[in-house]
Amino acid sequence: MNEPDFKYIISQLHKVRNDLSLREEIADWAQSYITDDELTVKNDKSWDLLMTLSYLDTQINPGEYLYGEEDIEAWLKEFES
């Protein structure tokens, strides 16, 4: 598995912004990079965004997510600056 390009990673966050039902799929995708012991992500910003995306599907109660639209907007603003 190769390190994903930052632009591709941020595009995944945009996908979730447009369709929150994708949060589990994208969190799983990001988690696959986080847990790959043979992969070293050299770009710190990419690593931070992958970590952020890997927690998108965290629930505080069944069907109630810890992170929502406001968080996604804040992350976009943070990572695109």
Indicate whether 32 pLDDT > 90: yes
Residue 43 CA to residue 29 CA, distance in Å, equals 18
Instruction: Check if the beta carbon of residue 6 is closer than 8 Å to that of residue 43.
Output: yes
Instruction: Tell me what pLDDT residue 37 has.
Output: 82
Q: How is the chain split into domains, by residue range? A: 6-80
Backbone torsion region of residue 56, taken as left when φ is above 0, otherwise alpha when ψ lies between -120 and 50, otherwise beta: alpha
Q: Where are the alpha helices (DSSP H) in the chain?
A: 6-18, 23-34, 44-54, 69-80
25: its two tokens? 């799929």
CA dihedral 29, 34, 38, 44 (to 10 degrees): 110
- Give the model confidence (pLDDT) of 16-29 as tens digits: 999 999 999 999 99
